[in-house]
Amino acid sequence: MDPVPALDEPLKKVLGPATAKVMAEHLGLHTVGDLLHHYPRRYEERGQLTHLADLPMDEHVTVVAQVADARLHTFASSRAPRGKGQRLEVTITDGSGRLQLVFFGAGVHKPHKELLPGTRAMFAGKVSVFNRRLQLAHPAYELLRGDAEETVETWAGALIPIYPATAKLESWKIGKALQTVLPSAQEAADPLPESLREGRGLVTLPEALLKIHRPHTKADIEEARARLKWDEAFVLQVALARRRHADAQLPAVPRRPRPDGVLAAFDDRLPFTLTEGQRKVSEEIFADLATDHPMHRLLQGEVGSGKTLVALRAMLAVVDAGGQAAMLAPTEVLAQQHHRSVTEMMGELAEGGMLGGAENATKVVLLTGSMGAAARRKALLDLTTGEAGVVIGTHALIEDKVQFHDLGLVVVDEQHRFGVEQRDALRGKGKQPPHLLVMTATPIPRTVAMTVFGDLETSVLDQLPAGRSPIASHVVPAADKPHFLARAWERVREEVDKGHQAYVVCPRIGDEEDGAKAKKKSPEDEAEKRPPLAVLDTAEQLARGPLAGLRVEVLHGRMQPDDKDAVMRRFAAGEVDVLVATTVIEVGVNVPNATVMVIMDADRFGVSQLHQLRGRVGRGSAPGLCLLVSEMPEASAARQRLNAVASTLDGFELSRIDLEQRREGDVLGQAQSGTRSSLRMLAVIDDEEVIAEARVEASRIVAADPDLARLPALRTALDALLDEEREQYLEKG
């Protein structure tokens, strides 16, 4: 039997079962290699560590200090009525301040023996206040017993790594465990090809691991970080480059439009000219469709930039070439909306096989889970026979029963709601892999696009079509200035008087069972934590109050699909003045006559979501207005976020703000399957250069050696990234 490589050694064997169990359960660390890649969160120098004067409340802290005095008190209590209760109070100091430690009951014996005046130790615990003094109750501690020759000064100069820890496992225990496994770092196989590492002046992996865990200087930490960032960026980009390479080897049927086909007829019908951006992106897509391997393209477009039109032209090009095109939408409302707008744009070109249909027309069918059996059978038949050139649907398109005559193109709308498994399931419906176009209206900063969607080529639509009006956005501080909210409802009335329509968006539906009502809360709690405003309550209050006399209707996700569709049709037809809705209207809803949107409790939505919602107004020739209503105080982070949304219409700028405010793990959001991000050192927003360079290097290496036969260590690192926990890392968008 081969010996287990040092880094694959289970922690149980090296550290013992008890510690290994806590590390596995609380930190997800199972092997020596996992532990070596558990990097310090920060480093403390003695001078910085011990500012006892600056301790934050309610946080877990680690301090280094000296015991000034220790006193044992006895007291009477319900448990120890005869005055046998014991409390140990220890005062520690670091020269900058003093801190009280308290231990009770049986817990006093060990610290009473060990924490003698003059003793130095590291203490960790949660900072609280008692009698107006800061204290740590029952802190964990580690005595610092320097060897005789190790003076306090040399110890004080050392950089102490502080690890991401848990209540069950303090930072120094993790540090001790690392001390045990650190010699194994010498055997770490280096995934970076030597030429690349030397060319970029990076230290070796064993050296980086030693320097990150036991740095002597700040320069050591910088060198180690630079190297470990490269590892993460490079291994991930190699995984994506291999995926792109594998996709490029697949065969696909080239699809070229006919000069006299349905696409040409459609272009002749258009009442406007395409924007420069739409033309350029269409050319990129048509060039991809004409090749004999599948297109994999991400189309990012600002809200209202005309992505649907670009996608429809691609679909018609495929229909011209004898194939079928499928568009996958995340919700039924959106699928119905797309179906309606596509058939309207195409007119008689969508009436293939019907009386009055144009001669080169095709059929456009809708397929959703809630359709009646007869309509569904008819749609499935049209797909199997090839009668329908274009199908628009929800996940229902992926089901086994759905068979295509010749699927040539899959368009996925709002990629972040579909995983690759679903994309692949739909792609499996083609005789050969179909071309793939993925659309998103959530602008994605370039680095995130390269990291999360790195297997796709990217096109960006950033111009708005001619005739689109700018949207003015304002924050309405409902708590500070209630008259501003009254004015908002007046503005809605004014727009309706001009013949326009309005949306009011709320975070909640309002018919949820609310178990929380039973608990009595203090008035402060009520103000602080009132539930988000709900569609049903708000609609009723508006119809009775400030919007009395207007035609107010509601739309939310729990309505029956037919009811939803009926409301949307009435709104589109101008028979409803004000639509009070949840975020079901976030994407794809297109009513050019709607000019104003009031978003209630706007602070409960994310930046990108607010930007999406706002894009539903100003879609016609009249200017749009978006009012962000919030009760949050002016100085709060939530209000600053809303001010940012109100100040710019640039979605890419907003998505940067959004990501800077969220933790790194969230950036890759659904791209992560496990609880922990596999990016520990790399910051997607800050390390743009490293990611871009790593992508270039990865593409070069994979082109020369797709199986990485000459780079076994890189293969091993890749297998570790794509192990079962992170298998779906690349599979979620």
- For residue 590, the model assigns a pLDDT of 76
Work out the burial of residue 91: count CB atoms within 10 Å of its CB; fewer than 13 is exposed, 13-18 middle, 19 or more buried. Answer: middle
Q: Nearest-CA neighbor of 607 among 654, 663, 656?
A: 654
Say if CB 69 and CB 92 are below 8 A apart.
no
Find tokens 């070596």 and name the residue.
Answer: 36
**Residue 77 in this model has a pLDDT that exceeds 70:** no
Structure tokens at 589: 């809803």
More confident residue, 208 or 106: 208
Q: What b/e string do you get for 366-381 counting C-beta neighbours within 10 Å, with b at 16 or more?
A: bbbeebeeeebeebbe
Interval 140-173: pLDDT, tens = 787 876 543 344 444 445 677 888 777 677 777 8
Span of 51-60, 500-509, 560-569 with lowest mean pLDDT: 51-60
Candidate from 3-12, 340-349, 609-618 with smallest mean pLDDT? 3-12
Mean pLDDT of the chain: 81
Taken as a whole, the chain contains a residue count of: 733
Backbone angles phi, psi at 585, to 5 degrees: -90, 10
CB 102 within 8 A of CB 89: yes
pLDDT band for position 28 (cuts 50, 70, 90): confident
- In 582-730, the DSSP E strands lie at 594-599, 624-630
Range of weakest confidence among 94-98, 367-371, 523-527: 523-527
Residue 347: burial class (beta carbons within 10 Å; 0-12, 13-18, 19+): middle
- What phi, psi does 104 have (nearest 5°)? -120, 165
Q: Which residue has the tokens 């017993």?
A: 145
Sign of CA dihedral 360, 361, 367, 373: negative
Percent pLDDT > 70 in the chain is 82
Q: d(Cα 642, Cα 637) in Å, to the nearest integer?
A: 9
Q: How far apart are CA 405 and CA 277, in angstroms?
A: 33
Q: Indicate the pLDDT class of residue 53, thresholds 50, 70 and 90.
A: low
pLDDT digits (tens, 9 = 90+) for 682-726: 777 677 788 889 999 999 999 999 988 898 888 888 887 765 334
Mean pLDDT of 261-282: 91
Average pLDDT over residues 449-478: 79
Task: Place 421 in a pLDDT band, splitting at 50, 70 and 90.
Answer: low
Higher pLDDT, 354 or 249: 249
**What pLDDT does 457 receive?**
82
pLDDT given for residue 120 in this prediction: 85
**Sorting pLDDT into bands at 50, 70 and 90, what band is 565?**
confident
Pairwise CA distance, residues 615 & 628, whole Å? 13
Lowest mean pLDDT among 111-115, 116-120, 396-400: 396-400
The type of residue at 101 is: L
pLDDT confidence tier of residue 311, bands split at 50, 70 and 90: very high
Whole-number Å distance between alpha carbons of 582 and 166: 38
The alpha carbons of the chain give a radius of gyration, in whole angstroms, of: 31
Sign of the torsion formed by the C-alpha atoms of 706, 708, 710 and 714: positive
Between CA 221 and CA 208 the distance in angstroms is 8
| pLDDT, mean of residues 417-437 | 75
SS (H, E, C) 115-141: CCCCCEEEEEEEEEEECCEEEEECCEE
Which residues sit opposite 639 in a β-bridge?
Answer: none
3-state secondary structure (DSSP) of residue 598: strand
Structure tokens at 482: 């209630």
87, 77 contact by CB (below 8 A): no
Please, which contacts does 342-345 make with residues 24 or more away whose CB atoms are closer than 8 Å? 342/308, 342/312, 342/390, 342/392, 345/266, 345/309, 345/312
Tell me whether strands 133-137 and 140-143 are parallel, antiparallel or unpaired: unpaired
Residues 625-634 have a mean pLDDT of 91
Query: H or E segment at 572?
Result: helix 561-572
Which residue in 640, 613, 638 sits closest to 627, CA to CA? Answer: 613
Per-residue pLDDT at 374: 92
pLDDT for 688: 79
**For range 601-606, the mean pLDDT:** 89
Residue 551 identity (one-letter amino acid): R
Please, which residues bridge with residue 413 across strands?
439
Looking at per-residue confidence, does 690 or 359 come out higher?
A: 690
Report the pLDDT value the prediction gives residue 417, as an integer from 0 to 100. Answer: 54
Least confident of 325-339, 447-461, 514-528, 614-628: 514-528
This prediction has a pTM of: 0.67
pLDDT tens-place string over residues 313-349: 999 999 999 999 999 888 887 888 889 889 988 988 8
Q: In sequence order, which residues have a C-beta less than 8 Å from that of residue 388 and are 6 or more positions away?
A: 324, 352, 362, 363, 364, 365, 379, 382
What is the model's pLDDT at position 97? 80
113-127, 276-290, 363-377, 502-516: segment of lowest average pLDDT? 502-516
Interior CA angle at 86 toward 81 and 92, to 5°? 150
State yes or no: pLDDT of 455 exceeds 80: no
Q: How far apart are CA 258 and CA 576, in angstroms?
A: 43
The confidence score (pLDDT) of residue 481 equals 87
What local confidence, expressed as pLDDT, does residue 559 receive? 85
Residue range 446-472: average pLDDT? 75
Strands (E), 156-243: 160-162
Q: What is the pLDDT of residues 378-405, one digit of tens each?
A: 999 999 999 999 999 988 888 878 899 9
In the chain, the percentage of residues whose pLDDT exceeds 90 is 29
Can you give the pLDDT at residue 649? 80
